[in-house]
Structure 1
């Protein structure tokens, strides 16, 4: 194939200073290390200087060619570069067959000024950087990250959507402009060798600890998701069980149905997806290579089929532990606590933790599931100071692109990871040494160095940007969270009779545990207009998908103009959660919005107007979903 959108050489201008081949090649080299100049025998037959894009983070030749074509197509659609004293900017051509760019020379000179050439190449570099970040954001995880025309599994693209209304930070969100800017800066630094991968991961860990204000000495293991973060406490548990001569491991998962659907699989040391972050394919639910057989997982639900909460749930956890002890000789227990379920609920109480630790002593490891990221630092520190591993993500409340999780290991529980832990080789599909801090010596040494999870690094870079902004705003953001929650609930009660708020949880509450002192996830049913019964999960899944895009063309002819305006909106909200006999949708405030409202409380009126738009579209979809 010849060239794509090839442009003729720029006409010679009287004030143009011709650039020699050497000067052009020097400009190309100086703009960025991703530009590789081809030797003359590899160039196209015409008089050109040819170069390729070879980003260090995109290794394979075939991948580089596909990447270059995408970059070129986006680059030619950009706003035209302004001219300057040196004349019109040059317009590189692109050869799909060769996978290379070309600058047309006329009698061995390029007829443009140096500034114009540098501007053109810099704009090409900027497009390549943005494209690489978006590509990496969809890599290094399971199939929930993989893209379709609608985005990932949650219909979120790996780039900002400026016109969209974002209220889906309990599920997944497109990244903010600031977050993407930070990711671009980080990747450019890595390309230019201003930062190493090891240094970048260490920087992320340090910034997380500082932004969260954690006081207890700890170590952060960065995971591709909150689900596979379960492998770190399981590794500690199996190692501790072996050292204590225990008969096996019993892993107690609480709030099943309100935590990640694959949590029980990961808690048992099993794969939970067909694809692993290393890029390979596995048999879902098979044991991760060389994890010990026989981990027993107890799955405890905290709600009945009608949505009401199980009374005395903590006692049910204790009863389950007693029954497991009666069936095994001296088992080791991993017991989950939960602060922030999919519905924002706090499922267990602190007293449960102290009672279990008193009862079992060194035969128990507590795991706090705070994956929603809506837990106050004081609560995180309370658990860490008592030897609990804390699981969190940046891809929920903090609005990072899905998926990025972490296991925060208190120093008091880290001994097995420092000294002599046996790491199952299969964990190398999820973790590389860069994701583990250097002071967890044995754990890190047993992991592979590659493939480096660039996508995870960039997703966490996005997340920590929002963490730091929220930390800077401080108490103002927490006040803003409360104001938003109360105002939106009032709005639903007063204006939207077809939407029914889910009753407040009767699970243990402690205003000190939740950011803002409130449950910042608003769950509600959609009531069918005929008999006021709640819509089931399948219908809510379709509505959730329609919310993300313009579906005005799907409305019937009888729909009014205002209804079509609502249907054209793009809104990201929390995906449906099935609760026994019914399902709910969710609105959630995230860190970016909380910080914005904390910085300027007067913005709340505008924000509530956006919420009314989201609710208006939901009502339109509820009205017409059967005929759409």
Structure 2
């Protein structure tokens, strides 16, 4: 148990920060310090991002882009046009073509995307019980435990309205959730293929949704081969690629197999939180268009806007005619980052990413206070996960919580070329937990443009981590904000 010694203060929050704190749930509401529950602001310039989670801030280029859009978009018609433009641009960046045809369904966050397969099941198989299978449950958004059951996972929706967290969105929707942990108590990565096959075999009359993760918070990648192996008509496949650290070829392959794909713009592409979208194969959209009555999903009008769904479905869904300006601005920033990243040479990107990873692995292996998690070779190259060791024991979730907040408070400008650094928030498995260091699109682009070879900045980050671990006081209650 730890007590975090954090000096509290208030500051003036700008109109831009207030705007970016809207259009999603309370996770991005700002306190008197102008910080979200993650302990980070929504606008910041002099900082380094080494987190694989949603804690990025809008920087100089993002602020210029946002201000230009605010000046040029005056009324709802302008924002609706921007929404259509962003949808088309995102499809281009994702490699849409006639052979890999899909529609985009938007959501205020990645956690809200979990609702879409439930909606599709309600519309296409209204009489069937839903079996909802979710892998890597501790390494995806914490709200997924509730959203996967068709319940409100937060206290507020994207419209700023309060909702009853934990209550059913559609009271009579029959959903049974099956949660699979990513790691064992020793940190080893699980393979749940046999358990998934067993559930599919046991429920031939039900509507089954199988949610796989391809790139979790620590970079875990489920076996996508199951999609080819389990070829049942009552199964919907959903692949969570919300970390968004993969190539267009992965999306093409999954779409061609009829799988839906979840993405966000606020993790790898480092837009401020939140922004979610789901790639839905055109064949599923065609089936939805054939449904005459959409009133059975009216409860989801508390979650989605009509502008979250493809234009072909806008007049069919019982959702509000309300444009989420904040979400559109966040997607505009993500797309700007995506375009710049996609212009880079793929070989150079891979080389710099591997060089960074090897550098960080070496630094962590040489540390007396940090220890690499098992199965690093099975994780994405842009994420490194590690445990922290102090006073002859590993730090637990609460202790890592305090360490995390002490690190992101910043104040490094006198000794470093940056004032702040963000890292991946603690992830628990059983009673144990670990931290993460990760690089996103903007960081990798900087490595490539500057032809980075030494990664001296990451040496400084590891040094900061070791210093903060040494300063950490154990044995008392953590007073830092929960994340």
Q: Calculate the TM-score normalised by the size of structure 1.
A: 0.69
**Post-superposition offset of 1:258:** 1.4
The alignment partner of 2:329 has SS state of helix
1:108 maps to what in 2?
none
Matched, 1:455 2:326: yes
Give the number of aligned pairs.
458
**Post-superposition offset of 1:240:** 2.0
Separation in structure 2 between the aligned mates of residue 369 and residue 540 of structure 1, nearest angstrom: 26
Q: Which has the larger radius of gyration?
A: 1
Q: 2:342 aligns with which of 466, 471, 483?
A: 471
**Post-superposition offset of 1:427:** 1.9
Matched, 1:285 2:285: no
The alignment partner of 2:437 has SS state of strand
1:202·1:437 contact (CA, 8 Å) conserved in 2?
Answer: no
1:624 maps to what in 2?
471
Separation in structure 2 between the aligned mates of residue 302 and residue 225 of structure 1, nearest angstrom: 22
Q: 2:290 aligns with which of 419, 422, 430?
A: 419
Separation in structure 2 between the aligned mates of residue 291 and residue 334 of structure 1, nearest angstrom: 19
Separation in structure 1 between the aligned mates of residue 182 and residue 306 of structure 2, nearest angstrom: 37
Matched, 1:187 2:61: no
1:212·1:467 contact (CA, 8 Å) conserved in 2?
Answer: no
Separation in structure 2 between the aligned mates of residue 295 and residue 416 of structure 1, nearest angstrom: 21
Q: 1:574 aligns with which of 421, 424, 427?
A: 424
Matched, 1:156 2:61: no
Alignment of 1:268-307 (within 5 A): 268-288=149-169, 290=170, 292-307=172-187
Counterparts in 2 of 1:207 and 1:133: CA distance versus 1, 3 Å: farther
Matched, 1:225 2:109: yes
The alignment partner of 1:252 has SS state of strand
Alignment of 1:423-438 (within 5 A): 424-438=297-311
2:364 maps to what in 1?
492
2:78 maps to what in 1?
196
Matched, 1:611 2:458: yes
The alignment partner of 2:312 has SS state of coil
Counterparts in 2 of 1:534 and 1:214: CA distance versus 1, 3 Å: farther
Separation in structure 2 between the aligned mates of residue 422 and residue 482 of structure 1, nearest angstrom: 48
2:118·2:150 contact (CA, 8 Å) conserved in 1?
Answer: yes
1:226·1:371 contact (CA, 8 Å) conserved in 2?
Answer: yes
The alignment partner of 1:306 has SS state of coil
Q: 1:583 aligns with which of 433, 438, 444?
A: 433
Q: 1:352 aligns with which of 226, 235, 250?
A: 226
**Higher RCO (CA 8 Å, separation ≥ 6 residues):** 2
Separation in structure 2 between the aligned mates of residue 305 and residue 583 of structure 1, nearest angstrom: 10
Unaligned runs of 5+ in 1: 1-69, 75-130, 510-517, 553-561
2:118 maps to what in 1?
234
Separation in structure 2 between the aligned mates of residue 590 and residue 489 of structure 1, nearest angstrom: 17
Counterparts in 2 of 1:414 and 1:454: CA distance versus 1, 3 Å: same
2:55 maps to what in 1?
172
2:313 maps to what in 1?
440
Separation in structure 1 between the aligned mates of residue 106 and residue 470 of structure 2, nearest angstrom: 44
Counterparts in 2 of 1:307 and 1:194: CA distance versus 1, 3 Å: closer
CA RMSD of aligned residues (A): 2.5
Separation in structure 2 between the aligned mates of residue 433 and residue 355 of structure 1, nearest angstrom: 36
Q: 1:538 aligns with which of 389, 392, 398?
A: 398
**Post-superposition offset of 1:170:** 2.8
Separation in structure 1 between the aligned mates of residue 168 and residue 394 of structure 2, nearest angstrom: 38
The alignment partner of 2:225 has SS state of helix
Counterparts in 2 of 1:403 and 1:251: CA distance versus 1, 3 Å: same
Separation in structure 1 between the aligned mates of residue 426 and residue 444 of structure 2, nearest angstrom: 23
Separation in structure 2 between the aligned mates of residue 231 and residue 343 of structure 1, nearest angstrom: 24
Separation in structure 1 between the aligned mates of residue 387 and residue 308 of structure 2, nearest angstrom: 40
1:38 maps to what in 2?
none
1:366·1:387 contact (CA, 8 Å) conserved in 2?
Answer: yes
**Post-superposition offset of 1:442:** 5.0
1:9-38 per-position Cα deviation (integer Å, ceiling 9, x unaligned): xxxxxxxxxxxxxxxxxxxxxxxxxxxxxx
Q: 2:129 aligns with which of 228, 232, 248?
A: 248
Separation in structure 2 between the aligned mates of residue 541 and residue 292 of structure 1, nearest angstrom: 38
2:266 maps to what in 1?
395
Which consecutive segments of 4 or more residues in structure 1 shift more than 3 A? none
Separation in structure 2 between the aligned mates of residue 441 and residue 170 of structure 1, nearest angstrom: 31
The alignment partner of 1:196 has SS state of helix
2:51·2:436 contact (CA, 8 Å) conserved in 1?
Answer: yes
Q: 1:547 aligns with which of 401, 404, 407?
A: 407
2:8 maps to what in 1?
none
Unaligned runs of 5+ in 2: 1-10, 477-483
Alignment of 1:589-600 (within 5 A): 589-600=439-450
Counterparts in 2 of 1:181 and 1:218: CA distance versus 1, 3 Å: same
**Post-superposition offset of 1:589:** 0.4
The alignment partner of 1:340 has SS state of coil
Separation in structure 1 between the aligned mates of residue 467 and residue 121 of structure 2, nearest angstrom: 50
1:138·1:146 contact (CA, 8 Å) conserved in 2?
Answer: yes
Counterparts in 2 of 1:589 and 1:550: CA distance versus 1, 3 Å: closer
Q: Calculate the TM-score normalised by the size of structure 2.
A: 0.89
Separation in structure 2 between the aligned mates of residue 302 and residue 539 of structure 1, nearest angstrom: 21
